[in-house]
Structure 1
Amino acid sequence: MRIRQAHLRDVPQILDIYNEAIANTVATFDTVPRTLEQQEQWFEQHGDAFPVLVAELDGIVAGWSSLNRYSDRLAYARTSELSLYIRDGYRGQGIGKALLEAVLAQGKQAGLHTVLSRIEEGNASSLHLHRLFGFDTVGTMREVGVKFGRLLNVVLMQKML
């Protein structure tokens, strides 16, 4: 497995992974699949300060991670929100750990100070992974999302770099 900076050519595979998560999981609260154009615009908004990384296995993007701008308000310039998605069929192989370690290191190098993560309360594997990397639980937002006909709680986690 190779962890590397994502390139524009990776966006179609990043999109496939994300749209699968939209359709089948509560890892994202998006409910409508994204288009390639939307995902390319998302990618272009990142740059050096907000890295996008991919885990590549035999030419396939098996997962991706990004640090996203938390807010357009300048006081939040050093705060980011984490995204981490693994391709169906590749989960449970340590790819998430490798991506999380790398993206946090790049975020620190880029001068970010705080990383936030919103995780659906029942996503035990994601909660565990975040705790392994020193994220603390800030609180739980109750019934803030509806997906697959269920009201969902979100755990807010935070890590200082």
Structure 2
Amino acid sequence: MHIRLAVSSDLPQILDIYNDAILHTVATFDTVPRTLEQQEQWFEQHGAAYPVLVAEQDGAVVGWASANRYSDRLAYARTAELSLYVREGQRGQGIGKALFERLLAESKAAGLHTVLSRIVEGNDNSIHIHHVYGFDTVGTMREVGFKFGRLLNVVLLQKIL
């Protein structure tokens, strides 16, 4: 497996992984699959300040991670929100950990100061890995999401780089 900065030709595979998460998990609160055009716009908003990485194995993207702009208000420019997704069937092989480590390093090198994560309550594996990498739990937002017919709580985590 190889971790590298994403390029535009990776977007169809990034989109495939993300749309699968939209349709089958509560890892994202998006409820409608994205189009390639939407994913291209998302990618263009990142640039050097907000890295996007892919994990590649045998020529295929098996996971991706990004540091996303937290807010369009300029005072938040050094704060990012982390996203990380691994292709179904590839989870549990260390891909997420490798992406996590590299994204934190790339984010710090890009000049980011704070990284936030919002994780659905009950996703204990994701919360645990965040704690392993030095994230602190900031709090829980109660019943802020509604997906698959149920209200969902979200745990907010933060790491100062």
Using the alignment, how far apart are the partners of 1:59 and 1:89 within structure 2? Answer: 16
**Alignment partner, residue 90 of structure 1:** 90
**Alignment partner, residue 105 of structure 1:** 105
**Alignment partner, residue 47 of structure 1:** 47
User: Which segments of structure 1 move beyond 6 Å, counting only runs of 4 or more?
Assistant: none
Residue type of the alignment partner of 2:139 = G
Residue type of the alignment partner of 1:144 = V
With structure 2 as the length reference, what TM-score do the two structures score? 0.99
Q: How do 1:32-43 and structure 2 match up within 5 A?
A: 32-43=32-43
Indicate whether 1:147 and 2:143 are aligned.
no
Using the alignment, how far apart are the partners of 1:8 and 1:82 within structure 2? Answer: 19
How many residues are matched? 161
**Alignment partner, residue 14 of structure 1:** 14
Which stretches in structure 1 are left out of the alignment for 5+ residues?
none
The one-character-per-residue Cα deviations of 1:125-157 (angstroms, maximum 9, x if unpaired) are 111111110000000000000000010000000
Using the alignment, how far apart are the partners of 2:150 and 2:72 within structure 1? Answer: 31
SS of match in other structure, 2:22: helix
What do you get for the CA RMSD once the two structures are aligned?
A: 0.4
Using the alignment, how far apart are the partners of 1:62 and 1:126 within structure 2? Answer: 18
SS of match in other structure, 1:112: coil
**Alignment partner, residue 67 of structure 2:** 67
Which stretches in structure 2 are left out of the alignment for 5+ residues?
none
Percent identity of equivalent pairs: 77
